Amino acid sequence: MAELGRIILTEQQIQSRVRDLGNEITRDYKNTPFVAIGILKGAFLFLGDLAKQIDTEMCFDFMATSSYGRGTTTSGEVRIIKDLDDSIEGRHVLVVEDIIDTGLTLNYLLEVLRKRGPASLKVCCLLDKPSRRQVPVQIDYVGFEIPDVFVVGYGLDCAEVYRNLPYIASLKT
């Protein structure tokens, strides 16, 4: 198992930013019931904490996409492993992602979702690595911009390990 490097974001920093994002989303969706789509598995802790900070009508659905497998670089290939349970036609949709790296996953997902005719489609991600972008994607709510380092914790894994950490750390190289 890869060893942890240094802490990039503490639990306190994450929780404070998640509160701010929740307030922003509450304000923007005050009279607009919406469905939050959590992208599994990485976004499960983030969406759980974020949802507790959202004080307006919302419901949940989940999608799972193929990940990097056991490596730490993108294969460029995106596959839907689990699709939504319900239709999003005519509904306001907020996609909740753990991290945007090259943008390939999100770009593909947004194309798929747009074709299903949502009333609106926005994106909230915890982490953004803008320096790694290969395709432009619009992100409406960003938790933190981080440099080009592979990170784990708070939902993010390395070979399925470390998702349970309450903070975000790099790996020892």
Among this protein's residues, is 101 annotated catalytic?
yes
For residue 146, the minimal CB distance to ligand 5GP (Å) is 8
4: β partners = 171
Given a contact cutoff of 8 angstroms between Cβ atoms, the answer to whether 150 and 25 are in contact is: no
Q: How far is the CB of 89 from ligand 5GP (least distance, A)?
A: 25
**Could you say whether residue 105 binds ligand 5GP (CB under 6 A)?**
yes
Stretch that binds ligand 5GP, among 18-26, 53-61, 67-75, 87-95 (CB under 6 A): 67-75
Active-site annotation holder among 101, 140, 148, 157: 101
Q: What is the largest CA-CA distance in the chain?
A: 48
Q: Is 145 exposed, middle or buried (0-12, 13-18, 19+ CB in 10 A)?
A: exposed
Please, which residue, 45 or 156, has the CB nearer to ligand 5GP? 156
Instruction: With both helix axes pointing from N to C terminus, report the angle between 11-28 and 44-52 in degrees, rounded to the nearest 10.
Output: 60
**Site residues (CB under 6 A) for ligand 5GP?**
42, 67-68, 74, 97-106, 150-152, 156-158
